[in-house]
Amino acid sequence: MTQSPAPPLPSPKERRRLREAKSLSQADVADKVGVTRETVRSWETGRTTPRGPKREAYVELLTTQDPATTSADTEDETGVGTGVEAEAEAEVTARQEPYIEAEAESGAEAEAETEAGSNEEPAPPPPPPALTPPQAFDALYAFCTPALVRQTYLLTGRRELARESVERAFQLAWHRWPEVAVDRDPAGWVRATAYEYALSPWHRLRPRHRHPEAPPADAADRALLDVFLKLPPMYRRTLLLYDGVGLDLPETAAETEASTPAAAGRLLRAREAVAERLPELAAPDELHRRLTVLAATERLRAAKPRSVRHGSEHRARTWTRAAIAFTVLLIGATSLTLRTAPDHYEPPMAPGATVRGLPPRAASGPLSDEQLELHAFLKDQMVSGPERLVPEAR
């Protein structure tokens, strides 16, 4: 008895494209194949591979053609229905996929191993060698930076501040890399740090903040950005995470450090404020598309990962030297104080007071002429020695 070969499985990017071409969400695919949504996300990112009957069902679901899909593919081939907006949305959305959580990965891998054992398929190839810390950091930087710079631009409306916020967030990530590397969502860690820096109120005190930057060229984009920037910072951040990035409500609440009901209230009020000024964006799907297009039309570039790592190390060395210099200065000041400080108690001198009721001190007055002559005579006589004075009778 021979085992039938496994059906060919498309690449991870092709899996996502085929699913979107059929207008299916990850939850729809999970329900039809019989797995969790995290497992489908893991398949589309290439972290795991379906096996056994689930692989056959997954491939059949992706490759089966229907009239609606065929007509849509024909329109895409002829150029109808495509444009800058669709390409930008696909590009930005693809870069917004967060890392798979550790529990989801372990569950998906355990499921894949169980199916592999039940179908007696050959063992998967050995995992690739582990990346070094600089390589892992560079991979995370290349994965997150393009979309993250565009998101921070939507938060602030300033291109230079968006680039600076992302670079500062990655510098801090490299400084705390042992902590970030084991985080369940490193991309979310960097995104939250970049948002916090971009929305800091201290930027208003910088001279650069006083000069406005050039708005977008398109009038519709200018109107959307103007309405978006007039929202309170937390409303702006909640709306961007939910309708722009695509996080669900609990993840949005966790990243904004709010409860789920509070995040839902902020989201509803932000949507109402946008719809009041721009009624055509009342639908969440249309708002998501317009935000994606607005972010994708801006030419925003960031520094190379190597320069970001070197900047983080230089910043750490500078702060370390400043801390050492301050410590030495503090020790010197303390030593000088101990050297010059008194070692015993000295009572303070009481202030003087005027004493009344006492007679004035007597003092000798000036000598008269006779007294001066006598003083001079006696002084002259005493030079050669005293003479014997003999009393004379008168």
Residue 124: per-residue pLDDT: 64
Report pLDDT digits (tens) over 301-359.
888 889 999 999 999 999 999 999 999 999 999 999 999 988 888 888 888 788 787 77
Q: Convert the pLDDT of each residue in 103-133 to its tens digit.
A: 444 444 445 444 444 444 455 666 667 789 8
Q: What are phi and psi of 255, to 5 degrees?
A: -75, -30
- For the cut 60, the answer to whether the pLDDT of residue 244 exceeds it is yes
Exposure b/e, 191-212, CB count within 10 A at least 16 = b: bbbbbebbbeeebeeeeeeeee
**pLDDT of the residue at 357:** 77
Instruction: For residue 16, name the pLDDT band (cuts at 50, 70, 90).
Output: confident
pLDDT at 268: 93
CA dihedral 374, 376, 382, 383 (to 10 degrees): -170
* Band of pLDDT at residue 3, cut at 50, 70 and 90: very low
**Average confidence score pLDDT of the chain:** 79
Q: What is the pLDDT of residue 202?
A: 87
pLDDT at 389 over 80: no
Q: What pLDDT band is residue 204 in, cutting at 50, 70 and 90? A: confident
Task: Say whether pLDDT at 100 is over 50.
Answer: no
All domains in the chain, ordered by first residue: 12-119 (no CATH), 133-296 (1.20.140)
What pLDDT, on a 0 to 100 scale, did the predictor assign at position 270? 92
Tell me what the mean pLDDT of segment 235-258 comes to. Answer: 90
- Residues composing the chain: 394
Burial (CB count <10 Å: 0-12, 13-18, 19+), residue 247: buried
Q: Report the distance separating Cα 170 and Cα 272, nearest Å.
A: 34
Beta strands in the chain (DSSP E): none
DSSP string, 28-77: HHHHHHTS-HHHHHHHHHTSS---HHHHHHHHHHHH---HHHHHHHHHHH
Q: Return the pLDDT at 243.
A: 87
All residues at 6 or more sequence positions from 82 whose CB lies less than 8 Å from its CB, including other chains: 75, 76
In angstroms, rounded to a whole number, what is the distance separating the alpha carbons of residues 190 and 196?
Answer: 10
Closest CA relative to residue 37, chosen from 19, 60, 17, 56: 19
Phi/psi at 247 (5° precision): -75, 155
Predicted pLDDT at 299: 76
pLDDT in tens, 42-96: 788 877 888 888 888 888 888 876 544 444 443 443 333 334 344 444 443 444 4
Q: In the predicted model, what is the mean pLDDT of residues 244-248?
A: 86
Phi, psi of 102 (to 5 degrees): -65, -40
Q: Which of 207-211, 359-363, 377-381 has the lowest mean pLDDT?
A: 359-363
How high is the pLDDT of residue 198? 92
Q: How far apart are CA 270 and CA 41, in angstroms?
A: 29
If you ran DSSP here, which 8-state letter would residue 95 be given?
T
Q: What is the mean pLDDT of residues 375-385?
A: 68
Cα dihedral 143→146→148→153 (10° resolution)? 180
Averaged pLDDT for residues 278-298: 86
Q: What average pLDDT does this structure show over 190-211?
A: 88
Of 5-9, 37-41, 223-227, which has the strongest mean pLDDT? Answer: 223-227
Q: pTM of the prediction?
A: 0.55
Share of the chain above pLDDT 70, in %: 77
CB atoms closer than 10 angstroms to residue 79: 8
pLDDT band at 263 (very low <50, low <70, confident <90, very high): very high
- Residues in Cβ contact with 206 at an 8 Å cutoff, skipping those fewer than 6 apart: none
pLDDT tens digits, 153-175: 989 988 899 999 999 999 999 99
Residues 6+ apart with CB under 8 A from 74: none
- Please return the burial class of 170, using the count of CB atoms within 10 Å of its CB with bins 0-12, 13-18 and 19+: buried
